[in-house]
Each structure stands twice: as C-alpha cells, then as structure tokens.
C-alpha cells in the first residue's frame, strides 16, 4: 500500500471512529454528517468521498460490530462452559485493548432497539438473533453435561449477555472502571454442587 492509500485508509478510520463516538452519544437520527466532518476536521464534501451517505457510514459501523460478535461465536464449543469462558475473555480483552469496542456494544444495542433503523441495518442485525439462539442451545448442552446450572436456558442466556452488555456500556461511559474477571461473569452459568 502506497503512502497516499495509507493516508486515505487512516482518514477513513478516523471518520469511522468519529461516527461511532457521535452515533453512540447523540444517536443515529440526531447525528448530522456535518458533525462527523467537523469532528475529523474535514469538509462535508470531502466526507462524502469516503462515505456516500450517513447511512452508509452507520451501516459500515454496524457491520464491523456484528462481524466481531460472529467471530467470537466461532470459538471452540466442545465444552459449553469453556465456550462461554473463551467468549467472555475475548470480549473483555478486546475492550481492554481497544476501548472503542465498548462503544460498539452500545451502538449495536441502540440499533437493535431502534424503530427507525434503515432496512439494510435491520438485515445485518438479524445475525444477533442467531448468536442468541446458539448460546441457548449451548446452555442446554451444558445443562445436560452438568456444567451449567439448572434453569430456563433462554433466561440464563439473557443473564449472561445482559451482564456482558452492561459491563460494556459501563466501560463506554466510564472507561476508568476496573475490569471484572471473566470467571465472575461465567459464574452466572456455572453449575455448582446441587444445582447442576
């Protein structure tokens, strides 16, 4: 990649990060392309050389966030409890190394709740339902193996993912918050003597 291409890619990444920050703080509807352009010290017109519309920038951010979560779901699942431990460690490590990772959790949650999200965004977000269904099935397997506590598998999946989501949102707002240990989160699911 030559120097010009590197500069262009660097500017594109700056636009993505500024867009992420503004969409998280202001929401999609309230964020204007002029806000994003101003945040990266460029004209509105130049911004459109990188992303034709605000929606295309938003879509790219949603795609990045959902692809990350799909990658986590491809971790080893021979042992359901190991799967949840690995996923939790990967997520916490990603946020520790890249604090914007926490903002992606906020962005995806906002998009999932949005009643006005563009149709293409809604289609991309459908992968999140697959992730949830897969974790419910893994919880069932873990319950059968005695690794995961008894209880409604959907409710346990909800408790696990809501814990991750809440931690990510806390870290997005208060980045100086100490990181929890993965085992604390996984203990929501872990079977114990007499409950597995």
Cβ atoms within 10 Å of 41's Cβ, excluding its own: 9
Q: Which of 61, 60, 25, 54 is nearest to 37 (CA)?
A: 54
> 136-169 pLDDT, tens per residue?
999 999 999 999 999 999 999 999 999 999 999 9
Q: Which of 133, 151, 135, 138 is nearest to 191 (CA)?
A: 151
What is the average pLDDT score of the chain?
90
> 98-138 pLDDT, tens per residue?
989 999 999 999 998 887 777 888 888 887 777 888 899 99
Q: pTM value?
A: 0.85
- The domain spans of the chain are 1-52, 54-196
* Assigned fold of 54-196: Tetracycline Repressor; domain 2 (1.10.357)
> 19-63 pLDDT, tens per residue?
999 999 999 989 999 999 999 999 999 999 999 999 999 999 999
Strand, coil or helix: 195: coil
CATH of domain 1-52: 1.10.10.60
Question: Nearest 10 degrees: CA dihedral of 133, 139, 142, 143?
Answer: -130
Q: Where are the beta strands (DSSP E) in 39-167?
A: none
């Amino acid at each position: 990649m030559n120097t010009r291409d590197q500069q262009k890619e660097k500017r594109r990444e700056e636009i993505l990060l500024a867009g992420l920050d503004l969409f998280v703080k202001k929401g999609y509807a309230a964020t204007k392309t002029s806000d994003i352009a101003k945040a990266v010290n460029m004209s509105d017109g130049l911004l459109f050389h990188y992303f034709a519309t605000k929606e295309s920038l938003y879509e790219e951010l949603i795609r990045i966030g959902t692809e990350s979560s799909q990658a986590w779901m491809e971790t080893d699942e021979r042992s359901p409890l190991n799967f949840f431990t690995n996923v939790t460690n990967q997520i916490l490590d990603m946020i520790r190394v890249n604090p914007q990772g926490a903002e992606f959790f906020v962005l995806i949650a906002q998009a999932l709740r949005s009643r006005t999200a563009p149709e293409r965004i809604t289609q991309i977000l459908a992968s999140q339902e697959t992730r949830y269904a897969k974790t419910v099935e893994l919880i069932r397997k873990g319950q059968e193996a005695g690794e995961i506590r008894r209880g409604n598998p959907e409710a346990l999946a909800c408790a696990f993912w809501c814990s991750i989501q809440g931690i990510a949102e806390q870290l997005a707002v208060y980045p100086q918050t100490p990181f929890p240990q993965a085992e604390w989160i996984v203990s929501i699911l872990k079977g114990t003597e007499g409950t597995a």
